[in-house]
Amino acid sequence: MRSLLRQIRGVAVFGLLALNTVFWFVPLFLLAIVKLAVPLHRPRVVVNRLLMGVVEHWISVNTWILEDAGSRDWVADVSGELDRQGWYLVVSNHQSWVDILVLQAAFNRRIPLLKFFLKQELIWFPLLGFGFWALDMPFMRRHSPSYLARHPGQKGRDLEATRKACEKFRHTPTSVINFVEGTRYSEEKRARKDSPFQNLLMPRAGGVAIALSAMGELFDAVLDVTLVYPDGIPSFWGMCCGDRVRVVLHADRLVVDQALVAGDYRNDREYRREVHRWLTGLWERKDRRIGECLGAGERAA
């Protein structure tokens, strides 16, 4: 009976989240049609701001639903002042789909709407794919080394697409977020990829470098976000079913290194090395912080 009630609760919470998505998709769809129909720059800027307002309302209701479901136990520590009218580059580790809900809840209406680097395939996701497109989310198509060996003309296309997407953000306050590891963390992936970190995969610098070179002079700060789940990595369905999700979020507000603002990641080897050195430093500190948090959680248990 307890298992049945848990599943019923999960269906109810998921249903509320789905209804909320459909409800806010209607004004988002109408605004997207206006955006398609009006080619002028200034009206499009206004429409983009309205689109982001719609999504902020959607996030607020999602957060309320999950809080009411009793499945949140979150601690957020953000160093430095934040501004809704600023430009931010947000870098974060990635462990679960729950990460997105946590980040949205932590930063909603504190900084501009988070714009995620997304896999190209997500554009076909029902409802949300169209919303991602309307919000100018950067879609990236990553190719394997074997594919690039057979099709050398495709090399660098994903980075160029990212650059073009970032150019659209120059006219509206934006937070560009990148899950720098490129995929969700697991112990199996860490071992297979031979990561030098204990709690992270190796960072992938391409997307961050392109964002910095395309609009680095606009960024007010870099937000280095560390997500930790002391009780283990949660699942979205478990969260809907009421599983207690403990999350510790720490965000450092960092000054943008001007040496990283202008560079050619594809063709300048020294610039690539500098970006990799910078990200490796962030990841070393992040790895220590995660280890300390997990160790503290074990001692408390």
Task: Give the pLDDT of residue 202.
Answer: 93
> Largest Cα–Cα distance of the chain, in whole Å?
62
Using CA atoms, how far apart are residues 264 and 279, in angstroms rounded to an integer? 16
Task: Give the pLDDT of residue 116.
Answer: 80
Using CA atoms, how far apart are residues 119 and 141, in angstroms rounded to an integer? 6
Positions of the chain with pLDDT lower than 50, given as ranges:
299-301
Using CA atoms, how far apart are residues 240 and 12, in angstroms rounded to an integer? 8
Task: Give the pLDDT of residue 36.
Answer: 82
Give the tens place of pLDDT for each residue, 153-192. Answer: 656 566 666 667 677 777 788 898 889 998 899 999 999 9
Query: If DSSP states are collapsed to H, E and C, what string results for the chain?
Result: CHHHHHHHHHHHHHHHHHHHHHHHHHHHHHHHHHHHHCCCHHHHHHHHHHHHHHHHHHHHHHHHHHHHCCCEEEEEEECCCCCCCCCEEEEECCCCCHHHHHHHHHHECCECCEEECEEHHHHHCCCHHHHHHHCCCCEECCCCHHHHHHCHHHCCHHHHHHHHHHHHHHHCCCEEEEECCCCCCCHHHHHHCCCCCCCCCCCCCHHHHHHHHHHHHHCCEEEEEEEECCCCCCCHHHHHCCCCEEEEEEEEEECCCHHHCCCCCCCCHHHHHHHHHHHHHHHHHHHHHHHHHHHHHHHHC
Task: Give the pLDDT of residue 299.
Answer: 47
Q: Which amino acid is at 190?
A: R
Domains in the chain (CATH in brackets) are 72-300 (3.40.1130)
Using CA atoms, how far apart are residues 301 and 288, in angstroms rounded to an integer? 20
